[in-house]
Chain A
Amino acid sequence: MTLQMNIRAMKKTLVLIAAAAGLAFAAQPALAAGEAKHPRSGGFSFEGPFGTFDRNQLQRGYKVYREVCASCHGMDLMYFRTLAEPGGPFYLSDQASPAENRFVKALAAEVQIADIDTETGEPIMRDGTAADRFPNPYPNATAAAAANGGASPPDLSVMAKARHDGANYIYSLLTGYAAVPQGLQIRPGQYYNEYMAGDLTPFMPEGTEHVPPGGFIAMPNPLTDGQVTYDDDTVASVDQMSKDVAAYIAWASDPKQEQRKQTGIGVLIFLFIFAGVTYLSYRRIWKGVAH
């Protein structure tokens, strides 16, 4: 039994562990027939360890959300002040606090918030403040479902985390209202989308060999070209608006991610140096000690 053999055995084991890690990453549910199309890339600026949000894009995305999505979808976990946090779409370096941000205060003041009169306890509507949550378009979940044919529009607060490949998925879904495949039976109140999860086999003529990808979605195609008037020079095409709102939702789903990544780079550099120093101490302490 030689040392080489031990090392070889150990190398083998290391290869196995690497394979294990690979498997863990690849472990995704198997594809069934008629699976949704894999989301296409929106080429987002915030991807990757050094990626940051495009602030203009976040502002445009917020506008799309507010003017289009918000008429049906709530974002119950979002407060107006969050928009002015470091890394957020309206952050200003000279603001006293997110709640004092002038853009956010103005945006919040445009909405009416249900409250009670502090004197009488009577229900009232008042102007929003930066400390308020985004208003929900419906008073409760039942009302939301009733107004939408029984399917309550999902809350968008963490939507980018709640779908695999979140931002790309949202972008793809919004641009995925393809022409209805021939023979597909669509029930009223349903729409065909290539990126929606589902299996269309039962809705195709019997014996169809190639079931089209995607599934049914209760949301009609929400965007048309030029629907939102952007404050910058960007052309508000469906593709652009989809990208922008996807970026905004990706930010809203995890508003701290940009700062976290920046911290992470510092942490990794620190750990790398610390590891190096510790390794040198290890070499020094074990110098001349057989093991």
Chain B
Amino acid sequence: MSDHESTYVPKTGIEKWLDTRLPIVRFGADYMALPTPRNLNYWWTFGGILALCLVIQIATGVILAMHYVPNTEMAFASVERIMRDVNGGDLIRYTHANGASMFFIAVYLHMLRGLYYGSYKAPREMIWIIGCLIFFLMIATAFLGYVLPWGQMSYWGAEVITNLIGAIPVIGEPVLIWLRGGPAIDNATLNRFFSLHYLLPFVIAGCVVLHLWALHAAGQNNPVGILIPKDREKKDTLPFHPYFTVKDGFAIIVFLMLFALFVFFMPNALGHADNYIPANPLVTPAHIVPEWYMLPFYAILRAIPDKFGGVVAMFAAIGILFVLPWLDTSKVRSMRYRPTMRTFFVLFVINGLILGWCGAQLPDAPVIGDFKTFILIDGDLNSYLWLTRFATLYYFAFFAIIMPLVGLRETPQPIPATISEPVLGGDAEKG
């Protein structure tokens, strides 16, 4: 499907003229005609949803930047001014703020889909790796953006996260000062964070182009997980347009309904009330928590008693995703045919939710009831500290131990010879 023939025929004069100089119309037409596995389910619609999320974030962000003032004295008030005095400003700002959450909901589902159906396996390693890079850039961008309103969580979140850099031996301290633009988080920090927050989305957009390029070179995976042989391409694929534009379109509209529900009716439900208190370096909030989408990684950070160790674990939790294609030893892509692995996958999803839950709790608080059990090393066994540690252990074990071992030892179920077989028990063409 990668090297399919172009079927575009320029019709008008301008198209013919353009086609020999800059075949951009051909590019678009070929994109729309791209042979796409006919059995893609709704889990495959999150790619399109994510593209829309990026466009929404950039469009609203550019407008916000026209009104926002990156100055510690004025940032908080300027954000409120946008919501009070700029035409449609409340919608633009709430769309941008909730858009980040929507972006992460979609990206997590997109990644879990890739994980479940083995979309990272050969020949699609580069798609996955670039995707991981996009995810990492998204986290960085979201963190930088959260600092900009200069509320209490903005300030103290920035304090906690930049302090992590300081935990790196030897170079930590100078790098920390260099990143902050001074010995403490101040105007210089806010200015550079604003600059980088504006820059990174375009780096993400560039990576998205590479992501799609790699996707079109290797071809899309599908729920059955088998490669489509050249001679079956006609039977097993459909042109992207109109079949998948309409399917993606429907999914996008349903997703927008969820988005609208938050923006219009509970715009602050996913945020933290403390971020509507202007930043005050002299008052530490009772409970510093990141936005929900960072909670699992925040939990991993806090699971390790050593600060530097925590930083390493947190980055390793993202870093291990990059080498996933080489940790999975299975010959079968889709977990549809890997019942053992499917169980571990479900546990992995639950485990991820537990990690997120733990990230929002006080480490010493009891998990069940209000009683103590016994002290294990440095904390009570019935505490979020230990629940976080067990969950962290499973997170890493899933990739580093379970994936390689299960792949070698399991007996997968028989895989259909073609992607049409599970649908019809035979050929795809029905009518």
Residues of B within 8 A of A267 (CB): 260, 264
Residues of B within 8 A of A82 (CB): 84
B371 at the interface (CB under 8 A from A): no
A179 at the interface (CB under 8 A from B): no
Assembly CA distance A250 to B244 (angstroms): 45
Q: Indicate whether A288 sits within 8 Å of B430 (C-beta atoms), given known contacts A1-B336, A6-B336, A278-B249.
A: yes
- In contact, A260 and B91 (Cβ under 8 angstroms): yes
Residues of B within 8 A of A275 (CB): 250, 253-254, 257
Stretch of B48-56, B265-273, B317-325 on the interface side: B265-273
Interface size class of A (residues with CB under 8 A): 35 or more
B286 at the interface (CB under 8 A from A): yes
- In contact, B292 and A24 (Cβ under 8 angstroms): yes
B83 at the interface (CB under 8 A from A): yes
Assembly CA distance A29 to B289 (angstroms): 9
Contact code string B215-233 (vs A, CB < 8 Å = 1, else 0) = 0000000010000000000
Assembly CA distance A253 to B414 (angstroms): 60
A32 at the interface (CB under 8 A from B): yes
**Other-chain contact of A268, B77, B257, B273, B431 (Cβ < 8 Å):** B257
Interface of B is mostly: helix
Assembly CA distance A191 to B238 (angstroms): 72
Assembly CA distance A226 to B350 (angstroms): 55
- In contact, B413 and A1 (Cβ under 8 angstroms): yes
A12 at the interface (CB under 8 A from B): yes
- In contact, A27 and B295 (Cβ under 8 angstroms): yes
Residues of A within 8 A of B109 (CB): 17
Minimum CB–CB distance for A254 against chain B, Å: 7
- In contact, A158 and B80 (Cβ under 8 angstroms): yes
- In contact, B429 and A76 (Cβ under 8 angstroms): no
Interface residues of B in 317-364 (CB under 8 A from A): 336-337, 342, 346, 349-350, 353, 356-357, 360-362
- In contact, A291 and B39 (Cβ under 8 angstroms): yes
- In contact, B84 and A261 (Cβ under 8 angstroms): no
- In contact, A254 and B361 (Cβ under 8 angstroms): no
Residues of A within 8 A of B116 (CB): 13
Q: Indicate whether A264 sits within 8 Å of B353 (C-beta atoms), given known contacts A29-B362, A162-B277, A275-B253.
A: no
- In contact, A166 and B250 (Cβ under 8 angstroms): no
Residues of A within 8 A of B423 (CB): 3, 290-291
Assembly CA distance A74 to B359 (angstroms): 35
Interface residues of A in 244-278 (CB under 8 A from B): 253-257, 260-261, 263-265, 267-268, 271-272, 274-275, 278
Interface size class of B (residues with CB under 8 A): 35 or more
Minimum CB–CB distance for A154 against chain B, Å: 8
Interface residues of A in 1-54 (CB under 8 A from B): 1-3, 5-6, 9-10, 12-13, 16-17, 19-20, 23-25, 27-32, 49
A161: nearest residue on chain B (CB-CB)?
B276
A112 at the interface (CB under 8 A from B): no
- In contact, A271 and B349 (Cβ under 8 angstroms): no
B421: nearest residue on chain A (CB-CB)?
A1
- In contact, A49 and B274 (Cβ under 8 angstroms): no
- In contact, A278 and B250 (Cβ under 8 angstroms): yes
A198: nearest residue on chain B (CB-CB)?
B286
- In contact, A278 and B292 (Cβ under 8 angstroms): no
- In contact, B91 and A281 (Cβ under 8 angstroms): no
Assembly CA distance A101 to B386 (angstroms): 61
Interface residues of B in 234-292 (CB under 8 A from A): 238, 242-243, 246-247, 249-250, 253-254, 256-257, 260-261, 263-265, 267-270, 273-274, 276-278, 286-287, 289, 292
Interface residues of B in 372-431 (CB under 8 A from A): 384, 413-414, 416, 420, 422-424, 428-431
- In contact, B292 and A27 (Cβ under 8 angstroms): yes
Assembly CA distance A260 to B362 (angstroms): 35
- In contact, B83 and A254 (Cβ under 8 angstroms): yes
A126 at the interface (CB under 8 A from B): no
Q: Indicate whether A282 sits within 8 Å of B357 (C-beta atoms), given known contacts A271-B257, A290-B420.
A: no
- In contact, B357 and A27 (Cβ under 8 angstroms): yes
16 residue pairs A–B, Cβ–Cβ below 8 Å: A1-B413, A3-B422, A3-B423, A6-B336, A13-B349, A162-B273, A162-B274, A162-B276, A261-B264, A264-B265, A268-B261, A268-B264, A271-B256, A289-B430, A290-B428, A290-B430
7 interchain residue pairs of minimum CB distance: A264-B264, A30-B365, A162-B276, A27-B360, A288-B431, A161-B276, A256-B90
